[in-house]
A and B are shown apart, each in its own frame.
Chain A
C-alpha cells in the first residue's frame, strides 16, 4: 500500500544507473547485432551524468527530480536514446508536478504521460521492435495488478511484464531506428532499447520494495 516517497524515486534513478553500468557491455552487444554498437555506452554516460547532477544538488520535489533527469539525458546521451529517455522523464516530471510523495495511481498515470511523450518523439508503433514494446505492456501490467494501489506490488508486476515483453521483442522485425535497415535479419535479436527499458522497471520495483520506500 501507500505512496512512493521522493527518496524512493531518487533511489530508482540511482538503481537504474547502477543496472545500466553493470549491463553496459551487454546492451552494447545487443546493439552490435542490429544497430551501431553504442546503446550501452551512451545510456551509461547519460545516467552517470544524472547521478552526478543529483548528487551535486539533491532534488527538491518530483518535478525537479525528473526534469533534471530528462535534461541531463537529453544533453549527454545523443543518438535516439537521449531524446527518447529524456522526453520520457520530462513528461513524467511534468505530470507529477512538485510533489514529495506519489500514490501508485498517480505514478502509473504519470508513467503513461512519459510513454505518450516517447510515442510522439519516436513516431513508433507497438510491434516496431522498440522500447515502446516494453513500456506499454509494463504499464498495462501495473494497471492490472491485483492491487493497483499497492505501489511496490504494482511496480513488481510491471517489472515482470517488462522482462517478458523484452524477450518478446526478439522474433519481431524492426521498423524503426538503425535496426530497421536489417529488415528480416533483425528478427532473432533482442531490441537493445527494450532491454534497457526492462532494466528501468526492474530498478523501479527494487527501489519501491526497499524498506521505507513507501509511506503508509
Chain B
C-alpha cells in the first residue's frame, strides 16, 4: 500500500482537518466528525443531513453548502457513522422545520441512521424523515438480499432536494420529492481495479490483468460478474443496457451522471461518456443535463458508473438552481 497518509488509524481525522483548512466556508466538528456550513441556512427551513463511510469523496462533505446539504456525517473509511454522530448533526441543523436524512441502502448505514433518528427525536425533539437511496441495478431487488445499494442517484438527489429545501419547501414535500428522485434514478458500475482500504493495507479483491468486475458498489465489494476487459464501446453497453432494461428512460428528459470511481482519469471518463451518449441517443433517451467526473468515488478504485434520472420541468428547475459547495458549484 502506497498512500499519502500518516497512520491508517488517523486517516479520517487527518483528512477532516485538511478539509477544514481548505474550505473556510465549512465548519468541521472534528470531535463528532460532522461537516457543517460555516454560515447556517436561515432558520425555519428544512435541514438536510447525509453521511456514510469516508472514501467516497466528494460525497458527502463536499456537498455541504448553499443549495445542497446542511451537514454531512463522516464514518470511518467505508464504515457508516455512529448514531451519536448522526444525532448530533440532526439536532444541530433542525431549526423547527424538521430534517430529512439521506441514507444509502447499506445494512450498517440503515441501522445507524435509524437509531440516530430515534435518538435525535428523544434528545432534541427534532422531526426526522428518512429517504433511502437504492438505485443500483446490479443487485437483484429481492427479499433474499439487503436490497439494492444506494449509489450515484444520491448525488443527484442531494442537489435537487437541496434546492427545494433552500427555497423553503416543507418537510413533507422535500421528503416526497426525495422519494420521487429515488424512484426515478438507476445506476450501474464497473471496476478495473479494486480499492485499497488503508486499515486493511491491501486491495479488497484481486483482479487479474485483463479482468474487470461488473456491477460493483462503492466499497469495492465485488459485483455481478467478472469478465475480460473490452474496448470502451463494449464496456459502455455493460452500463447502459442494464439501466435501460430496468426502467423506461425514453418518455421524457433525463439527467446523466458518468461518475469516476477515484482512479480513472478524465480523459477516460470523457471517452466513456462519448460512448454512453451515443448509446443513449440510439436508444431514444433524451439527455437534458449531464455530469462527468469523480462525484461518488471508491478511494483509489479505477472504473466508472452510470446514473440516469428521469426528470420533469420541476426537477430540472431545481437541478439548475444555484449551488455553492466544494464538489458542485454553479449559478451563484
Chain A interface residues toward B at CB < 8 A: 28-29, 32, 34-38, 41-42, 45, 74-84, 121-122, 175-183, 185
With both beta carbons as reference points, the residue of chain B lying nearest to A178 in the complex is identified as B221
A77-B197 contact, Cβ under 8 Å, with A182-B221, A183-B145: no
In the complex, how many angstroms separate the beta carbon of A195 from the nearest chain B beta carbon?
Answer: 16
15 pairs, CB–CB < 8 Å, chain A vs chain B: A32-B204, A38-B79, A38-B197, A38-B199, A78-B53, A78-B75, A79-B79, A82-B112, A83-B112, A122-B111, A178-B106, A180-B144, A181-B217, A181-B221, A183-B145
Q: A178-B146, A181-B222 are in contact. List 4 more A-B contacts (CB 8 A).
A: A37-B197, A38-B199, A77-B82, A181-B145
| Cα distance A29–B204 in the bound complex, in angstroms | 8
Residues of A within 8 A of B145 (CB): 175-176, 180-181, 183
Task: Give the residues from 248 to 273 in chain B that come closer than 8 angstroms, CB to CB, to chain A.
Answer: none
| Cα distance A167–B81 in the bound complex, in angstroms | 30
B162 close to chain A: CB less than 8 A: no
In the complex, how many angstroms separate the beta carbon of B25 from the nearest chain A beta carbon?
Answer: 27
1/0 per residue, CB under 8 A from A, across B102-139: the answer is: 00001110011001000000000000000000000011
In the complex, how many angstroms separate the beta carbon of B114 from the nearest chain A beta carbon?
Answer: 8
Residues of B within 8 A of A35 (CB): 221
A180-B146 contact, Cβ under 8 Å, with A74-B115, A79-B79, A83-B83: yes
In the complex, how many angstroms separate the beta carbon of B130 from the nearest chain A beta carbon?
Answer: 15
Task: Give the residues from 4 to 62 in chain B that come closer than 8 angstroms, CB to CB, to chain A.
Answer: 8, 53
1/0 per residue, CB under 8 A from A, across B69-112: the answer is: 00000011111111111000000000000000000001110011
| Cα distance A134–B63 in the bound complex, in angstroms | 41
Q: Is the CB of B84 within 8 A of A75?
A: yes
In the complex, how many angstroms separate the beta carbon of A70 from the nearest chain B beta carbon?
Answer: 12
B332 close to chain A: CB less than 8 A: no
| Cα distance A183–B223 in the bound complex, in angstroms | 9
A41-B146 contact, Cβ under 8 Å, with A78-B76, A78-B82, A122-B111: no
| Cα distance A195–B205 in the bound complex, in angstroms | 20
In the complex, how many angstroms separate the beta carbon of B60 from the nearest chain A beta carbon?
Answer: 14
With both beta carbons as reference points, the residue of chain B lying nearest to A44 in the complex is identified as B199
A42-B112 contact, Cβ under 8 Å, with A36-B221, A180-B144: no
Q: Is the CB of A41 within 8 A of B200?
A: yes
Cβ-neighbour of A38 out of B81, B140, B200, B205 (below 8 A): B200
Q: Is the CB of B205 within 8 A of A32?
A: yes
B149 close to chain A: CB less than 8 A: yes
Q: Is the CB of B219 within 8 A of A178?
A: yes
Interface of A is mostly: helix
Residues of B within 8 A of A45 (CB): 76
Q: Which of A74, A80, A84 has the most CB of B within 10 A?
A: A80
Q: Is the CB of A80 within 8 A of B107?
A: yes
Residues of A within 8 A of B197 (CB): 36-38
Q: Is the CB of A37 within 8 A of B220?
A: yes
| Cα distance A207–B4 in the bound complex, in angstroms | 42
| Cα distance A178–B139 in the bound complex, in angstroms | 11
| Cα distance A118–B83 in the bound complex, in angstroms | 16
In the complex, how many angstroms separate the beta carbon of A135 from the nearest chain B beta carbon?
Answer: 17
Q: Is the CB of A78 within 8 A of B221?
A: no
| Cα distance A182–B146 in the bound complex, in angstroms | 11
With both beta carbons as reference points, the residue of chain B lying nearest to A180 in the complex is identified as B145
| Cα distance A37–B219 in the bound complex, in angstroms | 9
Residues of B within 8 A of A122 (CB): 107, 111
A185-B115 contact, Cβ under 8 Å, with A32-B204, A74-B82, A176-B146: no
| Cα distance A78–B115 in the bound complex, in angstroms | 11
Residues of B within 8 A of A182 (CB): 221-222
Residues of A within 8 A of B115 (CB): 74, 83
Residues of A within 8 A of B76 (CB): 38, 41-42, 45, 78-79
